[in-house]
């Protein structure tokens, strides 16, 4: 090759590299933004229970998915190891209630805060984790706004939901019916907070979970915990 062509060759190679890197950025950008846009939060209320929580944890471990568990601390005794497993496997532990008895919880500010505090104390005593997220039992009742203020002052993030699998509403539903309800109620939502239950009666929820995870994964959602 003649020496005078060398600078031209260097210039052409540089331009080629520049276009290649720009191209890589252009193709990478949409993939990233789709993944960031669609998030599914699996949230489990009312546990722990011996069989159902264990089965749910097995599925989450197999699928490498993190979830959030809102605990009823009166159900922890005898299931401390299940609670520790939730924490150990990287899921989030949240406060739901000590008693889950609405007439007691919501009867006064003192009773409400005592219920929250007792549940939080049990979670941190058993697992060493101080919970920072909260979900109202039964949705919160008529004084929800007032109680929310009390909770936020104490540093809690309050988590609701915008999709359900129907395991409370449709008593005795099959796994297939729960799957269909999760699909139906999550339509057209980029951020899905799905309400499920891991208390003892909900074996069908544990059975539906692999299909629910498969569905959201196929639709391009990433799973996240609070
Ligand atoms: Zn509940």
pTM, to two decimals: 0.84
Give distance in angstroms: CA of 45 to centre of ligand 1: 5
Distance (angstroms) between ligand 1 centre and the Cα of 17 equals 57
* Distance, CA of 81 to CA of 155 (rounded, Å): 27
Q: How far is the CA of 215 from the centre of ligand 1 (A)?
A: 25
* Domain contains 88: yes
53: phi then psi, degrees, rounded to nearest 5: -60, -40
Helix (H) or strand (E) holding 96: strand 92-97
In angstroms, what is the span from residue 220 Cα to ligand 1's centroid?
29
- Give the pairing type, strands 191-197 and 39-47: parallel
Q: Determine the distance separating the centroid of ligand 1 and the alpha carbon of 219, expressed in angstroms.
A: 28
Find the 56 Cα to ligand 1 centroid distance in Å.
17
Residue 99 lies in a domain: yes
Q: 136: CA distance to ligand 1 center in Å?
A: 7
Predicted local distance difference test score (pLDDT) of residue 166? 98
Helix 51-63 and helix 203-218, axial crossing angle in degrees, nearest 10: 20
- The size of the chain, in residues, is 226
Task: Please choose, from the candidates 188, 190, 182, 209, the residue with its C-alpha nearest in 3D space to the C-alpha of residue 39.
Answer: 190
Residue 166 lies in a domain: yes
Is 202 part of a structural domain of the chain?
Answer: yes
| 89 CA from centroid of ligand 1 (Å) | 23
The answer to whether residue 23 is domain-embedded is no
Taking the centre of ligand 1 as the mean of its atom positions, its distance from the CA of residue 64, in whole angstroms, is 25
In a domain, 8, yes or no: no
What pLDDT is recorded for position 140?
A: 87
Domain-embedded: residue 128:
yes
* pLDDT for position 42: 98
How far, in Å, from the CA of 76 to the mean position of ligand 1?
14
Domains of the chain: total = 1
C-alpha of residue 125 to centroid of ligand 1, in Å: 21
Per-residue pLDDT of the chain (226 residues; tens, 9 = 90+): 556 666 665 555 565 555 555 444 444 444 454 445 899 999 999 999 999 999 999 999 999 999 999 999 999 999 999 999 999 999 999 999 999 999 999 999 999 999 999 999 999 999 999 999 999 999 888 899 999 999 999 999 999 999 999 999 998 999 999 999 999 999 999 999 999 999 999 999 999 999 999 999 999 999 999 9
Does 1 fall in a domain? Answer: no
User: How many Å lie between the centroid of ligand 1 and the Cα of residue 27?
Assistant: 44
What's the domain range around 72? Answer: 41-224
Cα–ligand 1 centroid distance for 187 (angstroms): 24
Q: What CATH number is given to the structural domain containing 152?
A: 3.20.20.370
């Amino acid at each position: 090759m003649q020496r005078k062509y060398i600078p031209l060759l260097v210039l052409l190679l540089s331009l080629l590299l520049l276009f290649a890197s720009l191209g890589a950025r252009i193709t990478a950008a949409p993939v990233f933004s789709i993944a960031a846009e669609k998030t599914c939060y699996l949230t489990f209320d009312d546990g722990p229970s011996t069989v159902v929580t264990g089965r749910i944890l097995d599925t989450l471990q197999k699928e490498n998915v993190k979830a959030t568990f809102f605990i009823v601390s009166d159900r922890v005794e005898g299931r401390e190891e299940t609670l520790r497993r939730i924490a150990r496997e990287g899921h989030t532990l949240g406060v739901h209630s000590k008693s889950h008895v609405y007439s007691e919880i919501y009867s006064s500010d003192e009773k409400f805060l005592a219920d929250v505090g007792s549940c939080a104390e049990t979670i941190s005593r058993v697992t060493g984790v101080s919970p920072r997220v909260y979900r109202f039992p039964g949705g919160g009742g008529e004084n929800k706004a007032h109680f929310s203020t009390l909770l936020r002052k104490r540093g809690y993030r309050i988590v609701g939901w915008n999709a359900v699998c129907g395991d409370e509403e449709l008593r005795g539903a099959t796994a297939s019916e729960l799957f269909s309800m999760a699909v139906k109620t999550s339509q057209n939502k980029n951020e899905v907070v799905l309400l499920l239950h891991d208390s003892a009666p909900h074996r069908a929820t544990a059975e539906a979970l692999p299909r629910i995870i498969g569905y959201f994964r196929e639709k391009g959602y990433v799973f996240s915990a609070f």
